[in-house]
Amino acid sequence: MITLYGISWSRSNYVLFTLEELELDYHVVSYNPFEDEKNNPDYFRLNPLGQMPTLVDDDFVLTESMAINFYLARKYGANRLWAESLEDEAQIYKWTFYAITQLEPHCINLILHRKALPEQDRKVTVAKSAEKLLAKPLNVLNDTLDGKAFLVADRFTIADINMAGILSYALNSGFDCAPFPNVQRYLNDILSRPARKRAEAA
């Protein structure tokens, strides 16, 4: 039995994408991450930071969204979403770490300061700086995707789910991807997969 604690607008978005892509049976427990530990001690036993997502697969508990996606891909999608060679596995790690280190901090700043924070707490300068800082890593990604539909092994893998999940924050904040046409085309393709659409509705 697989349970995911989380909600689709959060970092759970790409875990739900993976669960749907693998057509797994799962259920979602909607969780408010801003809840206090004393109001929900049971959840804090699963995830001591009180953040989401958290995955419970029978009696195995796992936090950290990207670790959850690696686990699901390896356990349930070994010959679909995972790699067949050590080199491709390394590329999956590389592009996932690229997404969470080079891109995610700026994507999060964009969504926070353009959309998520109460208006009085948004800072135009932080959003503008995030947009500028995204340009260099997005140019590299754009060159990588020239003539390519996927990041690794010429087929859809967990690296594409992870990358598109992180960049979806920038798109949702209104970020204009047109200067990076290969990235724009790639995201359109990945984010219009039926599994992603089902994940958004979960």
Ligand X SMILES: N[C@@H](CCC(=O)N[C@@H](CS)C(=O)NCC(=O)O)C(=O)O
Q: Which residues pair with residue 27 across a beta bridge? A: 3
Would you count residue 106 as binding ligand X (CB under 6 A)? no
Q: Among 44-52, 125-133, 146-154, 181-189, which window interacts with ligand X (CB under 6 A)?
A: 44-52
Pick 29 or 135: Cβ nearer ligand X: 29
Instruction: Specify the residue, 52 or 170, whose C-beta has the smaller distance to ligand X.
Output: 52
DSSP string, 89-126: HHHHHHHHHHIIIIIHHHHHHHHIIIIIS-GGG--HHH
Tell me whether residue 142 or residue 165 sits nearer to ligand X (CB atom).
165
Smallest separation, CB 53 to ligand X (Å): 6
Preceding peptide of 53 cis, ω within 30°: yes
Please report, in angstroms and rounded to a whole number, the separation of the first and last CA atoms in the chain.
17
Give me the least distance between CB of 64 and ligand X, in Å please: 5
Note whether 173 binds ligand X by CB under 6 A.
no
Here's the x/- map for ligand X, 47-86, by CB under 6 A: it reads as ---xxxx----------xx---------------------
Q: Is 163 in the site for ligand X (CB under 6 A)?
A: no
Can you spell out the DSSP letters for 120-175? GG--HHHHHHHHHHHHHHHHHHHHHTTT-SSSSTTS--HHHHHHHHHHHHHHHTT-
Site for ligand X, rule CB under 6 A: 10-11, 33-34, 50-53, 64-65
